[in-house]
Amino acid sequence: MLYYSTSKNSVPVNFKEAVIQGLAPDKGLYFPEQIPLFSPHFLEHFKSYSKEELAFEIISPYVGDCIPKDVLMGICAETVNFDFPLVPITESIYSLELFHGPTLAFKDVGARFLSRCLQYFCQEDKQKTTILVATSGDTGGAVANSFLQVENTQVVILYPSQKVSEIQELQLTTLGHNILALEVKGDFDDCQRMVKTAFADTALNQHMILSSANSINIARWLSQQFYYAFAMQQWQHDGPPVFAVPSGNFGNICAGILARLSGLPTDIFVAACNSNDAFYDYYVSGTYHAKPSIATISNAMDVGNPSNIPRLFEMYKQDYASIKKNVFAASIDEASTKATLQKVFEQEQYILDPHGAVAYAGLEKYLALHPNKKGIILETAHPIKFKPSVEPLIHQAIEVPVSVQHLFGAEKKNICIEANDDELKVILYSL
């Protein structure tokens, strides 16, 4: 399998090269030259597969011979060695809980898969790689946890000052060792711009090997297909489900759509946006324009210019009519997010996190137009990560999971910087 750039001005590369480079030299995103189709045998029997077997079958065509099969199976087993339960909320709405991993967020899957692939490549090449990543919330903690003390890797995480939750910040600033957290005086779009500028800097890239751990990285993005298949393994109803995905950088929903194009039997996808709704505007008008980001309680979705939009356009060959046929967009404002979170707890005794509440409200909008269908929301983070926002709405304390209790009181280790490309460059040259 080779990967080309969505900007169409870089030579195709294999899986290993795409993973290590992260972003293509022309600033485009890597995209597979072919979308593999699941075999009839796989689709007939996939409910009997173990999680690691399912992950292996999905990802193998994308990896090719860049990683030996036995090593890849081991990577898959380590990536998905926690639960992904499908929990009913109402008769027509289910929650795929993706927060049972080590950092209580869906990004554990992509970060663990990427870290283990890079660890294999670094050991193979005996070269140090610097992982440069921007985070709007959960990516930072998942990447930090996955790469902690991994040999031959240095991790540099940029996050927007005062725009991530307390637990999210603690998860990426208290580890030390090979994890460097940079608190940027700006928003997520500033962080993302600084990272992209660094990747495009020829002199910097000659000085060091830079790779990305955002969903722009092909390993992060492709491995998110796994849990859509896990959901379908647990689906007991006639007819495929609608998937409602809280959509910020759009890597998650694009992975689900990719699995669907490969043959996974799902229905339409709901792109549930918060007030950062550039894609919703595109859905309505047919014209895409980035927008300045707006701070919300669903902070991981506070992205004004989603990085993975080019992949969505690529999957549907830039055809607006095809996108509209297969994707339903919903824009959920802050008041609706809070009202949904409160309503679902009062009526169903289920605690959503703010991102799950956006997905739930988006799915409700779709089901109101299609009342005979059923759907699955992706509950992408544990509500404890948004304790100050959630507890006042449900009027109840959220129990702190044992896995994060040690963070409170831990020493914060970070560097505060301006939203300045040159300031980041000085730090990278010093590593």
What CA–CA distance (Å, rounded) separates 403 from 385? 12
> Per-residue pLDDT tens for 79-99?
999 999 999 999 999 999 999
What is the per-residue pLDDT for 166? 87
pTM of the model: 0.90
> Per-residue pLDDT tens for 229-258?
999 999 999 999 999 999 999 999 999 999
- Give the range among 256-270, 298-312, 319-333, 352-366 with minimum mean pLDDT: 298-312
What phi-psi label fits residue 64: left (phi over 0), alpha (psi between -120 and 50 degrees) or beta? left
Looking at residues 36-41, what average pLDDT do you find?
96
**pLDDT band with cut points at 50, 70 and 90 for residue 11:** very high
Closest CA to 20 of 115, 112, 160: 115
Phi, psi (deg, nearest 5) at residue 115: -60, -40
The label of the residue with tokens 């309503």 reads 343
What is the per-residue pLDDT for 141? 87
What CA–CA distance (Å, rounded) separates 53 from 77? 8
306: which DSSP letter?
-
Beta bridge partners of residue 2, listed in sequence order: 14
**Which amino acid is present at 82?**
F
> Per-residue pLDDT tens for 132-145?
999 877 788 888 98
Looking at residues 99-104, what average pLDDT do you find?
93
Contact 157, 172 (CB under 8 A): yes
What is the per-residue pLDDT for 407? 86
Architecture of domain 83-106+221-400 in this structure: 3-Layer(aba) Sandwich (3.40)
Residue 55: its H or E element: helix 51-63
What is the per-residue pLDDT for 152? 85
Give the residue extent of every domain in the chain. 83-106+221-400
What is the per-residue pLDDT for 188? 85
Spatial strand order of the sheet with 86-88 comes to: 86-88, 93-97, 375-379, 242-246, 269-273, 327-331
